[in-house]
């Protein structure tokens, strides 16, 4: 089985008001120091993982630089990062290599650096094609700049482009949301990610919303029902345009699904490097108590430089079965019960009642050995997923949310 690599790059030009990620504004000097530390981890994490009983595939077929804004890295630092990865792993010639970029940071030198480093996919954090909405959450780009970036990426040979959109931004209306969808479709990009704004107490906007205040345009945030309507509209419009939904938040033209993100949802092995990065590896010696090994790094930027601080946790067969349900159900194709029965045996039958109840509630649909979320189930997906978690000591895995 091949391996996916994820690199967390926590640098931004400005901090979005809705953001709760471990990211911020840093100097070029700090970026260089960070890349050096990442390189150290790339060279040493394999040994640590092996000590924890994890099996690590040598062949890499996906690489994903997420953030933050990886396109802020100087070209020389990008070169160092990719050089180290290719030294330590066998990266397939046709590997999917994605870099997240903020519109306005995709300069000609950056594009040249991406192309020469083998990057063949770019995820643009557009969030909205309406300038007022983007500015309200501290995004620094305009629609004009976004369209120019897409054109120049294509000219350089990178046509596999994802556009991120957020439903529920301040000032968003039905008309403005449809405008953003229309613009995303008109660009001809093969992949679109649609996220509903999350009210998170760890973000400035989230705290203001919870407090009922007016800073950060909080009083102009659409209510939950309208945001859900925006999401449903996106599903209808994108599917009709041939950009078909394949996961709760992700839509793609045929053949352009994110290979890297599919690893998360299908429990394939991946290694994560950098601040607040996570890894999932199959155990070298599997048992009922240990099916796979998860690794996590600190979410503190300063703490990341003190010492290697990986934390390992063992995932049992029972926990792996839970993951197979709530991660697999994120996909439109759903979960194959016959395959799970093959892998986990009769254990899957303890969920028979749960499946029947969710189907009766209109949240799941079962067809033979296949179960999948209904349209309503996707809107209430967190409630559905919680029904499949029965191990009290278990916490849901953290995976990057990205296009």
Q: Are residues 236 and 334 in the same domain?
A: no
For residue 217, what pLDDT band results from cuts at 50, 70 and 90? confident
Higher pLDDT: 375 or 207? It is 375
> Is residue 190 one of the residues assigned to a domain?
yes
Give long-range contacts, CB 8 A cutoff, 24+ apart: 361-365: 364/329
Which residue, 219, 236, 263, sits at the end of a domain?
263
> Is residue 271 one of the residues assigned to a domain?
no
Q: Look at the chain and report how many structural domains it folds into.
A: 2
Q: Which domain holds residue 104?
A: 3-263
Predicted local distance difference test score (pLDDT) of residue 210: 82
Read off the pLDDT of residues 221-273 as tens digits, 9 standing for 90 and up.
Answer: 889 899 999 999 999 999 999 999 999 999 999 999 999 999 999 999 999 99
Distance, in Å, from the CA atom of 280 to the CA atom of 278, rounded to the nearest integer, reads 7
List the CATH number of the domain containing 332.
Answer: 1.10.10.920
What is the reported pTM? 0.93
Q: Are residues 200 and 52 in the same domain?
A: yes
Determine what percent of the chain is predicted with pLDDT higher than 90: 72
Q: Are residues 209 and 345 in the same domain?
A: no
Read off the pLDDT of residues 118-137 as tens digits, 9 standing for 90 and up.
Answer: 999 999 999 999 999 998 88
Residue 104 is encoded by which pair of tokens?
């306005």
Predicted local distance difference test score (pLDDT) of residue 343: 94
Q: Are residues 325 and 234 in the same domain?
A: no
**Dihedral angle, C-alpha 336, 163, 125, 68, nearest 10 °:** 40
Predicted local distance difference test score (pLDDT) of residue 29: 79
Predicted local distance difference test score (pLDDT) of residue 394: 43
Read off the pLDDT of residues 96-111 as tens digits, 9 standing for 90 and up.
Answer: 999 999 999 999 999 9
Look at 68-82, 246-260, 383-397 and tell me which has the smallest mean pLDDT. 383-397
- 398 pLDDT above the threshold of 70: no
- Whole-number average pLDDT of the chain: 91
- 396 pLDDT above the threshold of 60: no
> Is residue 303 one of the residues assigned to a domain?
no
- 392 pLDDT above the threshold of 80: no
Residue 33 is encoded by which pair of tokens?
């120091």
Q: Are residues 360 and 254 in the same domain?
A: no
Q: Are residues 330 and 236 in the same domain?
A: no
Q: What is the mean pLDDT of residues 372-391?
A: 92
Look at 76-85, 147-156, 173-182, 239-248 and tell me which has the smallest mean pLDDT. 76-85
For residue 184, what pLDDT band results from cuts at 50, 70 and 90? very high
161 CB-near residues (< 8 Å, 6+ apart)? 121, 122, 123, 124, 150, 153, 154, 187, 189, 190, 191
On the CB side of 199, how many CA atoms lie within 13 Å of its CA? 15
Q: Are residues 209 and 107 in the same domain?
A: yes
Residue 398 is encoded by which pair of tokens?
């953290």
> Is residue 391 one of the residues assigned to a domain?
yes
Question: For the CA atoms of the chain, what is the radius of gyration?
Answer: 21
> Is residue 300 one of the residues assigned to a domain?
no
- 338 pLDDT above the threshold of 60: yes
For residue 199, what pLDDT band results from cuts at 50, 70 and 90? confident
Q: Are residues 204 and 73 in the same domain?
A: yes
Predicted local distance difference test score (pLDDT) of residue 212: 85
List the CATH number of the domain containing 75.
Answer: 3.80.30.20
Predicted local distance difference test score (pLDDT) of residue 202: 75
Residue 239 is encoded by which pair of tokens?
């599917």
Q: Are residues 38 and 141 in the same domain?
A: yes
SS3 300: coil
Distance, in Å, from the CA atom of 100 to the CA atom of 69, rounded to the nearest integer, reads 6
**Per DSSP, which regions of 72-219 are E strands?**
90-101, 121-127, 160-167, 191-196
């Amino acid at each position: 089985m091949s391996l996916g690599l994820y690199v967390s790059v926590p640098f931004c030009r400005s901090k979005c008001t809705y953001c709760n990620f471990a990211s911020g504004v840093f100097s070029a000097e700090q970026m260089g120091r960070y890349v050096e530390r990442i390189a150290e981890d790339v060279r040493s994490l394999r040994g640590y993982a092996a000590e924890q009983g994890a099996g690590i595939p040598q062949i890499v077929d996906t690489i994903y630089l997420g953030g933050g804004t990886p396109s802020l890295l100087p070209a020389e630092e990008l070169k160092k990062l990719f050089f180290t990865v290719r030294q330590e792993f066998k990266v397939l010639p046709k590997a999917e290599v994605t870099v997240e970029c903020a519109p306005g940071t995709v300069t000609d030198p950056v594009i040249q650096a991406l192309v020469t480093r083998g990057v063949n996919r770019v995820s643009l954090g557009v969030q909205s094609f309406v300038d007022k909405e983007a500015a309200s959450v501290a995004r620094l780009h305009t629609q004009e700049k976004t369209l120019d970036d897409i054109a120049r990426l294509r000219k350089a040979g990178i046509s596999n482009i994802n556009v991120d959109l957020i439903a529920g931004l301040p000032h968003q209306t039905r008309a403005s949301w449809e405008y953003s969808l229309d613009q995303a479709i008109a660009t001809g990009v093969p992949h679109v990610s649609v996220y509903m704004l999350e009210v998170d107490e760890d973000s400035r906007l989230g705290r203001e919303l919870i407090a009922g205040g007016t800073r950060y345009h909080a009083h102009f945030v659409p209510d939950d029902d309208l945001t859900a309507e925006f999401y449903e509209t996106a599903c209808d419009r994108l599917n009709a345009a041939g950009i078909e939904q394949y996961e709760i938040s992700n839509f793609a033209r045929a053949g352009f699904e994110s290979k890297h993100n599919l690893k998360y949802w299908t429990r394939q092995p991946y290694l994560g490097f950098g601040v607040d990065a996570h890894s999932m590896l199959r155990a070298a010696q599997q048992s009922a108590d240990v099916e796979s090994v998860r690794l996590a790094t600190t979410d503190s930027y300063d703490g990341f430089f003190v010492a290697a601080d990986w934390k390992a946790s063992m995932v049992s067969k029972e926990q792996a079965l839970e993951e197979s349900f709530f991660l697999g159900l994120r996909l439109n194709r759903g979960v194959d019960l016959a395959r799970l029965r093959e892998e986990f045996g009769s254990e899957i039958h303890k969920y028979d009642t749960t499946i029947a109840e969710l189907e009766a509630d209109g949240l799941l649909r079962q067809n033979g050995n296949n179960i999948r979320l209904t349209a309503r189930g996707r809107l209430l997906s967190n409630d559905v997923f919680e029904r499949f978690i029965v191990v009290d000591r278990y916490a849901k895995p953290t995976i990057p949310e990205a296009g």
